[in-house]
């Protein structure tokens, strides 16, 4: 497909994945640009439908309802995300764990799934991958793929844009950002601090994901809870931290933000393992750069 360097960039946005997803494409003529953006949003919408915790017909809901009784066949995308999630669980010794749905329900971040099954005491080790895209749970548990599915969706949509001839693209799903091409994209690190200026990264041909404990934290039964869970302790990660992870793939950056939120500077070796780097803001220490691989200017 022929690229036209004089064509202006086109940017569109739609609400998906619990946030506003924007897609910007430069270098194609108008019909091909809009066709590529439409196709990318189809990828985003598919991931949303498959992996929503709230939709009773999604793969996630079917797994939470039935897979402790019998294996459940899921879409290949769901299978891929669960595989990736289990790999991050193994690498982090369970700090990243998608089986924390019960905690997020108890802390009132997610609604209780319908059905009779109640999650109790399960972990990522109780999730079994079977042939033919089937998944089984060995103990009652509720998975939530919200800590990784958004990054996966961004990667899939970016790949769809590439296949359709778009070589310079920016896809932003609520702070999970992937840039394709060599034109630098400024990314503001929106830490909530009245005393410090807002740092800016320049990202080329890579991904960045950000997580903050501030935005959704709330008090429940006399305790302050945030939406990020330390899967080892089954407790909230610190709610006053801001984390930004830079990596090649957005699914990697997305998952690693949750680990860095929980482990802080102890996550350096894991960042190196996944060829990533992180920027961590903690009120007690200010900014820290955790070096694995530097991809930001």
Predicted local confidence at residue 1, as pLDDT: 40
- Residue 95 CA to residue 124 CA, distance in Å, equals 10
Q: Does residue 4 surpass a pLDDT of 60? A: no
Encode 285-297 in three state secondary structure: CEEEEECCCCCEC
Residue 129 has pLDDT above 60, yes or no: yes
Instruction: Kindly indicate the confidence band of residue 285, based on its pLDDT and cuts at 50, 70 and 90.
Output: confident
Kindly report, residue by residue over 41-70, the tens digit of the pLDDT: 999 999 999 999 999 999 999 999 999 999
Q: How confident is the model at residue 222 (pLDDT cuts 50, 70, 90)?
A: confident
* 184-290 CATH fold: T-fold (3.10.520)
pLDDT band at 296 (very low <50, low <70, confident <90, very high): very low
Band of pLDDT at residue 192, cut at 50, 70 and 90: low
What CATH class is the domain 59-137?
mainly alpha
pLDDT tens column, 151-178: 999 999 999 999 999 989 999 999 999 9
- Domain locations along the chain: 59-137, 184-290
Per residue in 196-209, pLDDT (tens digit) is 567 888 999 999 99
DSSP string, the chain: ----TTSPPEEEEEEETTEEEEEEEESS-HHHHHHHHHHHHHHHHHHHHHH-SS-TTSHHHHHHHHTTTS-EE--HHHHHHHHHHHHHHHHTTTSS-TTTHHHHHHTTSSPPPSSS----S--GGGEEEETTTEEEESS------TTTHHHHHHHHHHHHHHHTT--EEEEEETTEEEEESSS-EEEE-----TTS---EEEE-SEEEEEEESTTT-EEETTEEE-S-EETTTTEEPPTT-EEEEEESSHHHHHHHHHHHHHHGGGGHHHHHHTT-EEEEEETTTEEEEE-S---B-
Contact 179/170 with Cβ under 8 angstroms?
yes
How many C-beta neighbours within 10 Å does residue 264 have?
19
| Alpha-carbon torsion (92, 98, 99, 101), positive or negative | positive
The alpha carbon of 57 is separated from its chain's Cα centroid by a whole number of angstroms, namely 21
């Amino acid at each position: 497909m022929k690229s036209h360097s004089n064509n202006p960039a086109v940017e569109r946005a739609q609400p998906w994945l619990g946030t506003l997803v924007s897609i910007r494409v430069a270098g194609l003529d108008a019909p091909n640009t809009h066709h590529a953006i439409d196709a990318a949003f189809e990828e985003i919408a598919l991931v949303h439908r498959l992996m929503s915790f709230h939709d009773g017909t999604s793969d996630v809901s079917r797994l939470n309802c039935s897979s402790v009784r019998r294996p459940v066949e899921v879409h290949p995308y769901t299978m891929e995300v669960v595989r990736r999630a289990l790999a991050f669980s193994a690498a982090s010794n369970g700090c990243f764990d998608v089986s924390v749905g019960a905690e997020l329900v108890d802390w009132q971040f997610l609604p209780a799934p319908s059905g009779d099954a109640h999650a109790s005491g399960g972990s990522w080790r109780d999730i079994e991958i079977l042939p033919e895209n089937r998944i089984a749970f060995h103990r009652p548990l509720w998975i939530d793929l919200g800590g990784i599915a958004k990054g996966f969706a961004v990667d899939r949509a970016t790949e769809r844009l590439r296949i359709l001839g778009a070589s310079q693209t920016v896809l932003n799903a609520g702070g999970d950002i992937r840039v394709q091409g060599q034109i630098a994209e400024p990314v503001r690190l929106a830490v909530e601090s009245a005393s410090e200026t807002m740092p800016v990264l320049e990202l080329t041909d890579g991904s960045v994901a950000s997580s903050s404990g501030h935005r959704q934290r709330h008090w429940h039964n006399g305790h302050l809870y945030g939406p990020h869970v330390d899967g080892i302790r089954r407790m909230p990660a610190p709610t006053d931290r801001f984390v930004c992870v830079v990596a090649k793939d957005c699914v990697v950056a997305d998952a690693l933000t949750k680990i860095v939120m929980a482990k802080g500077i102890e996550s350096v070796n894991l960042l190196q393992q996944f060829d990533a780097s992180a920027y961590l803001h903690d009120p007690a220490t200010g900014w820290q750069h955790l070096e694995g691989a530097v991809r930001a200017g």
